[in-house]
Chain A
Amino acid sequence: MTNNANVAAGQQKLRSKRGHERRINGTIYTVLVIMSIVWLVPFVFLVLQSFRSYKLEKGGMVDYLIPKTFSLDNYAFLFEGSNFFSWLGQALIVAVAVAAVTAVLIHVCGRLLDKGEGEGRGTRVALLGGSLLIGFVALVGLTMALQGFALAGSWVKALISLALFVLAGWIMARVYLKQDSKLLRSIPGYVVEDKHEGLKKFCAMFAEFGALALIAQCILAPMTMSQYVRWYGNTLTIALFTSVIQTVIVLSVSYALSRLRFKGRKLIMNVVLILGLFPGFLTMITLYFLLKQMGLTQAGAVPGLILIYCASSGMGYYISKGFFDTIPKSLDESARIDGATRFQVFLKIIMPLAKPIVIYTILMAFMAPWGDYVFASYVAFGHQDGYNVAVGLYNWVNTNDFQNYFTRFCAGGVLVAVPITALFLALQKYYVEGVTGGAVKG
């Protein structure tokens, strides 16, 4: 009897405990839901407003959230007077065509090469060279046809585009030979680990040709730009250059500080740490005058801004140095004994292992100039062609007719968010993914 009573009491207790937990969870979820709504509302508002036509539903502030008619007028305005889409379309067509033709050619070359395995080296090289040459001639013919080469009309341009495609073909031939040759496949136990490897290879190839086609397009057929496209282009140029340069500098500095023992290492780290505590804006006026003397303000704002953003990048070494410190030193030592120079160790061993931190550094280096307003606004200082998107859009709602430009401002904002969102979605898995498993006894 008492036993049963005890059990009952115990169950009662358990139930009340569960109830308590449920209440706490309920509260937490409620708070989280409210917070996410608070966070999301401005974005939803921005996106919705960007679809409200500036022609049909005038006015900056209206008393309804959802536009009466959805239209793409605002977006159309952003690209008005620019041949951006046809320009991009051309480049895409070139990229697709060239990638497809190359894929076929590379396969043919590879088969020929494998067939020639039993024969002498000379024969194989001749086979490869011959087939590649034929391939390139075909490629150039295709490019010329697609680009309306006759219209471009300059031998320099033709040579540059030729060089680009030769380069691409050469890279792909190497990739093919490395990954798919008979030699590798003859290793017992060698299996293609990833069954999507072929697809991935093709995607990589396409991306490569896409990039090359874009460069070729820039040379062969210049784009006429609307205001917004120009600003966007400025921002993209600044952000890309900055992220590349800054990443290289930051990673080299942190690797050196993590691995090399030299005189004054501690001192440098401390001094840089203290210097980094001063806000960058302190130097704003000085920087402006320095840039002005070099002619890097107003019309020269883009290179000027790249210079500013990259200038002190070595100072952000802490995080990546901390990461490098966690990669066992014996890997470096092992590689050095295996015959690698310091630079080869860095490139071939450390870089692949430091992928998360490389991604992080690239993202950070890309985002800072992408969203920067302060430096961009005073370096460009009134010169519209030197604006980045943030400054340009601000000017729309500030100096121009606010009521008229508000929805177009929203559309511009939405487009600014696109690449950064895509970058994050694509790269976020590397954020958490460590790849050092199995290096040393762990």
Chain B
Amino acid sequence: MASLKLEHVKKVYDKNVVAVHDFNLEIKDKEFIVFVGPSGCGKSTTLRMIAGLEDISGGTLTIGDRVVNDVEPKDRDIAMVFQNYALYPHITVYENMAFSLRLRKMNNEEVHRRVCQAAEILGITEYLARKPKNLSGGQRQRVAIGRAIVREPQVFLMDEPLSNLDAKLRNQMRAEIILLRKRIDTTFIYVTHDQTEAMTLGDRIVIMKDGYIQQVGTPQEVFETPRNLFVAGFIGSPQMNFLKARLVKNGGEYFAELYGVRIAMGAEKSAKLAAKGVGGQDVILGVRPEHTQLVFDGRDGTIEGTLRVNEMMGSELHLHVDLADGTSVILRIPTLDLTEEQRRGLIYGSKLRFAFPEKVTHLFDPKSEESLLF
């Protein structure tokens, strides 16, 4: 249990390749932080710097009250779960888990108590006498987590622990990690490229790209108020739709114009925009697929498109729609909202009309890619 502070942390490889630029983050005690981003964004590098497996090229890293830049991994009091498990293949599961305790010359009773306890939490008691090669992927992952638990570390690091599991097991393990976190109350840092994992696990999410932090915030915050185009596109599945539009100021109110349709921004957003001093300009309008509505009654203010792909996901439909200028838009429509007849009409090439509710639209500056509403 400890807080972490990263100040201007930097990683430079071979004198000129910068993997992480000026990373600033304060992690509170017992917080669950998730680093998320596409591959090569520097999230794993940052984690490895915290673990001590990579040198820190600049800045300071503090765990608790101690600057640990030049402290060996073994003296940092951290535990780490690796993507590929990294179990010691020549010793049993029991000895795998006891390894770190034995290195610390802990007495046998205590080792036994801790290993059994961890095994029970993870439900691997019956495999203790096996060797790793006789375990399935999910079991190995549990052992890897168990090996970290027995340490009772100050900080718990996880480097894409679920990415080697199949989809079903991954969902199950994700739920278990949430439960685990409730049982062992400590600081977690979790790296993943999967935004679902990030959203469901994290107290706060750190979204990274090309070595820069894009946004830090709770899952709710990053979902509802993405700071820039990248975050907006990265969080949420299917991806947010981006449409070129023109922002028009009419008195105290702002409107977005696109495809001959005028969408009112509403009072709250207008106030924000006015406070920023934004005038009429080109913008990128961001709309999440789930925030779209199919319109069948021919009312005003709707956009027409041609249906290209209709993905039936069970409880909802994902409609890929091409607009007049070729822009592709994805609509996510709950199946229950449609009548049987309406659903049957959604075939390749059919024309349909849809609308965006105003309160959930996002505006981005096309040049800086920053959100105009942040």
Instruction: Identify the A interface with B (CB < 8 A).
Output: 181, 183, 186-191, 193, 328, 330-331, 333-341, 344, 348-349, 352-353, 435-441
Mark the stretch among B104-112, B211-219, B287-295, B365-373 that contacts chain A: B104-112
A339–B89 CB distance below 8 A: no
Contact B86 A333 (CB under 8 A): yes
* Cα distance, A333 to B126, chains bound together (Å): 27
CA distance A344 to B99 in the complex (A): 11
Q: Are B112 and A183 in contact (CB under 8 A)?
A: yes
Interface residues on B, range: 35 or more
Whole-angstrom distance from the CB of B36 to the nearest CB of chain A? 21
Q: Decide: B82 and A437 in contact? CB cutoff 8 A.
A: no
List the A residue with the shortest CB-CB distance to B112: A183
- Name the residue in A187, A190, A352, A436 with the highest tally of chain B Cβ atoms < 10 Å from its Cβ: A187
- A438 touching B99, Cβ below 8 Å: no
Min CB gap A355→B, angstroms: 8
Interface residue B359 (Cβ < 8 Å from any Cβ of A): no
> Contact between B74 and A438 (Cβ–Cβ < 8 Å)?
no
Which residues of chain A have C-beta atoms less than 8 A from B129's C-beta? 187, 189-191, 193
B-side contacts of A341, CB under 8 Å: 74
On whether the beta carbons of A339 and B104 are closer than 8 Å, the reply is yes
8 A Cβ contacts from B115-148 to A: 116, 125-129, 131-135, 137, 140, 147
Fill in one digit per residue for B54-83: 1 if any A CB lies within 8 Å of its CB, else 0.
Answer: 000000000000000000111000111011
Q: Tell me whether A336 and B87 are in contact (CB under 8 A).
A: no
Residues of B within 8 A of A189 (CB): 125-129
Q: Chain B: residues with CB nearer than 8 A to chain A?
A: 51-53, 72-74, 78-80, 82-91, 94, 99-100, 103-104, 108-109, 112, 116, 125-129, 131-135, 137, 140, 147, 151, 164
How many Å from the CB of B93 to the closest CB on chain A? 9
What is the bound-complex CA distance between A436 and B116, given in angstroms?
26
Whole-angstrom CA separation of A331 from B87 in the bound complex: 7
- Residues in A neighbouring B128, C-beta threshold 8 A: 187-190
B86 touches A334 (CB 8 A): yes
Q: Which of these, A186, A187, A338, A348, contacts B74 with CB under 8 Å?
A: A338
Interchain CB contact under 8 A, A439 and B89: yes
When the two chains form their complex, are residues A188 and B94 in contact, meaning their CB atoms are under 8 A apart? no
Are A330 and B86 in touch, CB under 8 angstroms?
yes
The interface residues of chain A lying within 8 Å CB-to-CB of B99 are 335, 338, 348
How near does chain A come to B214, taking the closest CB pair, in angstroms?
28
**B79 engages A337 (CB within 8 Å):** yes
Interfacial chain A residues near B74, Cβ < 8 Å:
336-341
> Which of B51, B84, B126 sits near A337, CB closer than 8 Å?
B51
What are 27 contact pairs spanning A and B, CB under 8 A?
A: A183-B109, A183-B112, A187-B128, A188-B128, A189-B126, A189-B127, A190-B94, A191-B129, A328-B86, A330-B82, A331-B88, A334-B88, A336-B53, A336-B74, A337-B73, A338-B74, A338-B79, A338-B99, A339-B104, A341-B74, A437-B133, A438-B135, A438-B140, A439-B132, A440-B82, A440-B85, A441-B85
A190 to chain B, nearest CB (A): 5
